[in-house]
């Protein structure tokens, strides 16, 4: 009996710590961050959608950021419309399910693979960290990695600027609920 009491005293606080650590990232609904302007380059809604451009995966940084080779240069890409738990953000502990989200993105976007990069006329070209904003679709795939990560539960819907929702917001919201 004494052994089971000790187990309960140890296990319950551990479970509470794990669940509370995950709750911050996994909150329902779309997250927003309107403290800083989302982009350094903005387009109007009347601008035609950007043309997809072929790029090659250099490496995956984390679940929602990758580095590609585009036009002979390395470019850091932030996946539009999603957010995954942090794994490499300075001064931030690794968040629950972050390693799994990063591993899934690495699996979907292996080094050297060809992807189609498409921007969004509503988000602008770059985020506040200088990363190019894009949807990434592996060559031959039917949907973007952005949407697939939402469908599979590795990412949550993320709106950079609530006043300027990205073009695919509604389909992404449906994918997140699926």
DSSP-assigned states of every residue in 31-72: EE--SS-S-SS---TTSPPPPPEEEEEEEEEETTEEEEEETT
| Residue 122 Cα distances to 61, 139, 143, 149, angstroms | 25, 24, 20, 21
Q: What letter would DSSP give residue 124?
A: B
* Chain Cα centroid distance, residue 76: 13
How far apart are the C-alpha atoms of 101 and 84, rounded to whole Å? Answer: 7
Of 131, 129, 124, nearest to 161 by C-alpha is 124
Residues with catalytic function: 78, 86, 131
């Amino acid at each position: 009996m004494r052994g089971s009491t000790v187990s309960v005293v140890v296990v319950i606080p551990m479970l509470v710590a794990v669940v509370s650590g995950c709750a911050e990232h996994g909150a329902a609904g779309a997250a927003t961050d309107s403290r800083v302007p989302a982009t350094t380059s903005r387009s109007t809604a009347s601008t035609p959608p950007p043309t997809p451009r072929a790029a090659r995966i250099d490496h995956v940084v984390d679940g929602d950021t990758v580095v590609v080779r585009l036009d002979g240069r390395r470019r850091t890409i932030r996946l539009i419309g999603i957010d995954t738990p942090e794994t490499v953000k300075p001064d931030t502990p690794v968040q629950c399910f972050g390693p799994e989200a990063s591993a899934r993105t690495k699996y979907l976007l292996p080094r050297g693979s060809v992807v189609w990069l498409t921007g969004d006329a509503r988000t602008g070209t770059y985020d506040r960290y200088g990363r190019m904003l894009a949807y990434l679709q592996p060559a031959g795939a039917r949907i973007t990695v952005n949407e697939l990560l939402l469908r599979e539960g590795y990412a949550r819907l993320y709106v950079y600027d609530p006043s300027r929702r990205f073009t695919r917001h509604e389909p992404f919201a449906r994918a997140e609920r699926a």
